[in-house]
Structure formats: C-alpha cells, structure tokens
Amino acid sequence: MKLFDLSLKLNGFPIKEARKALTSVQNIDDTDFEACINRKKETIVNYHLEHNPFYKSFAKNANPKDWNRIPVMTKRHLQQPLNHRLSEGFHIKNVHIHKTSGSSGDPFIFAKDKFCHALTWAIFQDRFGWLDIDLNTSKQARFYGIPLHKKGYYKERIKDALGNRFRFSVFDLSDEQLQKNLDKFKTTPFDYINGYTSAIVQFAKFLKNEHVILKHVCPSLKYCIVTSEILFETDKTLLETQLGIPVINEYGAAELGLIAFQNKHQEWIVNSEELLVEILDDDDRILPYGEEGRIVITSLYNKAHPFIRYDLGDIAMLSKKSTPKKPILEKLIGRTNDIAELPSGKKAAGLTFYYITKSIIEDDGNVKEFVIEQHTRSKFKIKYTSDKALSSENKKHILTDIETYLEKGLSVEFEKLDYIERTKSGKLKQFRSFL
C-alpha cells in the first residue's frame, strides 16, 4: 500500500493532479520554457495583486509586465499575523500551515494552498526517483530534530510511520547514543539516510573511531541525502568513506520546498518547475550566471500566500552552464547574516573562519564539533567539544592562518565545552555574529 500517497490524499493534497501538472511542465520544450516561466511570473503577480490585500499594499507600484518593478520581500515583511497575509478565499482550515525553523533568526508562520503543497511533494518524489528511491516504499533513516512537546512529538512520529522512516535523535550525539544508532542499522534494512549534515557527520566520525563502514553492516543502504546545513568537501569525503555510499546534497526551505537537488552526476539542479530562482546584487539587480549574490525566489504556484521575489537570506551562485529550464546551483556560500565585519572595513563570509580552522582542529579526530562567534569587529571566540583541550600548537596554526587569509590584529579566544547548543530544530549554527 502506498501509505505516503494515501496520507497526502486523506489530508486533501491532490498528489495525482500535482504529478500530472509536473509532467506537463517537464515536457515543455527547452526553447519554449523561458516564455512559459514569464507567463507564470505575470500570472502569479496578477493573482496576488487582485486577491491578496497584503501583497497589494506591499507591492503598490508593481508592474507585472516589468519584472524589475516587482519589489523584493524579506522575512521581516512577513512577520505579521497569518490571516493578514492570506489571499481571499483562503483560511486556516483550507491551507497547509507550517513554521520556518528560525535558523536565520527570523521565524514566521506561513501557508501554502493544497495544490501547491502537493506539487512540492511531487517534486520531492521526482527527485528522489532519480536515485531509485520511492517515498512510499523505501526505508529512510532520518536524522532530524523533533518537537519535544507532546502534540508536536506524536504528530511527527505518525508522519514518520506513514513515511516509512525511523527518526534518530540529533539532540543526543553521545557515543552511547551513536552506538544505539549503529545497532539499529545492523537490524533494519534502511534504503537511504536523510537529514541534517552536522548530525550525520558526527555519526560518521563515530563510525571512523569504531573502524566501521556502515554499508558493511547495512547492505541495503544506497544513498545519503544531506540537507539544511553547509556540506564541506572534507565532510563529504568522510561521509562517503565511513557510510560506504554516495552523498547527495539537497537544498530547501520550509516555506518553498525543494530548491535544488544533486543528481547522480553531482549537478545541483534547481527546481525550475515550481520556482523561479534569481541571484541579485545589493541593489536588487539580476546578476548573470557565474556571479555570487543574494538568492531570491518566487513560488510560481502558491495562491494562498505570496512568496514573490522572496529574499531567502542566502548567498549563492548559479553555474554559467545554466539554462532557464535547467538552472544549476554552482555553490551555496552561506547566509547573508553570517558575514564577519573586520576592523579594516573588510567583510568576509563567516564560514571563512570555519574553513580555516576546520582541517586543523579536526586532523587528529579529537575535536567533535565547533562553532565560531564574533563579539566585536576584532574579537572572535571558537567554542568546541573534544576529549582533550586543543594544544598550543594547534591554536598557533589557527591564528597564523587567520592572519594569512583575513587580516592581522584579530583576537581569538578558545573555549572548550562539554556540549554545543543547537537550535530548537536541532541544526548547528556554525557561525554567529553578535555585531
């Protein structure tokens, strides 16, 4: 029985109709695709200007025929009661309601109409199908957070059962718990792993220390799909070595669904069937393929709630090989609020610090996790968990590299912790600026 499809249908999400619509879009010829998207852009803007009082007020000077006249919206614009943002004819009982994780610091509640939500799941099913994974029948090992209050907890557990998945805790990454995780893999024929990058990386480090390759104890495993956090090349190598299976990078957002998904050829394919993805500069001008900028996304089908030229808060680049029908995500740099401001006036992605320190302090396997905080323009703190404190030699290497890659005169404090706090959703925020 296709329990996953059945659960969507019982909740009023027309998955069959969504699959047909997806197939129809995928069958559009490459030469006609851009014109089709232009029509969809104009249609969704006109719809919300006519039926959504919030958007009509927000985009009062918008011209649907001139895309540059369509204003960029941010999460801050949407932080008001949901019923103020819903289109006419939609209310809390006939839409899908969800909440963003808040990992960007700006959480809010949003809505999707039921067809749009079904289309999102049709996209997921299509992409997982690239890997011969069937959401109805393939067994998932799930490394995600879970609400700890009763109602939310049991709701997620029911969804896990219908989705044929077993959820591993990302809040407890102790050796004792990771051993229990390993024991579960020994007795369960999982087809794939899916979840937060940092939690799966910690499991892989544990496997390395135990001299275990997961595929050897769970032969049914085919792929590991990581999401929600940056995947570093060194971590990808570790995962593929210790899990014994290919690693696939997924990029998504709760309010938009799947944004990009790697295929078997390691191309990070953008979801052009449902979304319009643009890369903009600081003045909201569209950048050409191959240039870094803010990733701004339009949901082409969500009639219940406008996500039109929505600034997700991430910095990214589309490949020069991209086409309107097949945009390729070249790289995902990080969040726009993860920028370090230095005394000289120079700005650097906060993850620069992470790249510099990562290979050095993890070489001997002593350090389990670490995060970097900026407290003033010149003062940084590296918090880490480890069996023993970092050596003075390791610290000296880090300081030298920070001078080389950034600038001199920065103060770096090291703090050894027993545990690094995660967000409520279970994600690990690797750089945080307090400026």
Q: Which of these, 119, 117, 124, lies nearest to 138 by C-alpha position? A: 124
CA dist 362 to 334, 349, 354, Å? Answer: 21, 21, 11
CATH number of 339-433: 3.30.300.30
**Architecture of the CATH domain 132-263:** 3-Layer(aba) Sandwich (3.40)
Span 219-241, average pLDDT: 93
Predicted confidence at residue 117, as pLDDT, reads 97
Opening angle at CA 232, ends 227 and 236, nearest 5: 80
CA dist 55 to 69, 268, 296, 425, Å? Answer: 14, 32, 17, 30
Q: Between 197-209 and 175-187, two packed helices, what is the crossing angle to 10 degrees?
A: 90
432: burial class by Cβ within 10 Å (0-12, 13-18, 19+)?
middle
- Per-residue model confidence as pLDDT tens digits over 166-181: 999 887 888 899 999 9
**Higher per-residue pLDDT: 190 or 11:** 190
Span 420-424, average pLDDT: 78
Residue 375 CB neighbours (<10 A): 14
Q: Return the domain boundaries, the chain.
A: 1-111+273-324, 132-263, 339-433
Percent of all residues in the chain with a pLDDT value above 90, rounded to a whole number: 63
* Sheet containing strand 293-299, strands side by side: 275-280, 293-299, 310-318, 329-335
Span 290-310, average pLDDT: 97
Span 261-275, average pLDDT: 96
Predicted confidence at residue 247, as pLDDT, reads 97
Judge whether 218 and 190 are in contact, CB under 8 Å: yes
Predicted confidence at residue 270, as pLDDT, reads 98
Half-sphere exposure of 249 toward its Cβ, with a 13 Å CA cutoff?
21
Judge whether 222 and 140 are in contact, CB under 8 Å: no
β partners of residue 315: 294, 334
- Per-residue model confidence as pLDDT tens digits over 395-420: 988 898 888 878 899 999 999 998 88
Query: Which residues neighbour 244 within 8 Å (Cβ) at sequence distance 6 or greater?
Result: 213, 214, 215, 216, 221
**Higher per-residue pLDDT: 206 or 349:** 206
Q: Tell whether the model's pLDDT for residue 31 goes beyond 70.
A: yes
Query: Which residues neighbour 282 within 8 Å (Cβ) at sequence distance 6 or greater?
Result: 294
Judge whether 331 and 322 are in contact, CB under 8 Å: no
Span 260-285, average pLDDT: 96
Q: Which of these, 187, 186, 185, 152, lies nearest to 168 by C-alpha position? A: 185
Token pair recorded at residue 66 = 């001139």
Q: Between 114-130 and 15-26, two packed helices, what is the crossing angle to 10 degrees?
A: 60
Judge whether 202 and 170 are in contact, CB under 8 Å: no
The structure tokens 């839409």 sit at: 95
Radius of gyration of the chain (CA): 22
Alpha helices in 271-344 (DSSP H): none
Q: Tell whether the model's pLDDT for residue 427 goes beyond 80.
A: no
Q: Tell whether the model's pLDDT for residue 424 goes beyond 80.
A: no
Q: Which of these, 187, 176, 234, 186, lies nearest to 361 by C-alpha position? A: 234
Asked if domains 1-111+273-324 and 339-433 share a fold, the reply is no
> Quick one: 1-111+273-324 is in which CATH superfamily?
ANL, N-terminal domain (3.40.50.12780)
Q: Tell whether the model's pLDDT for residue 345 goes beyond 90.
A: no
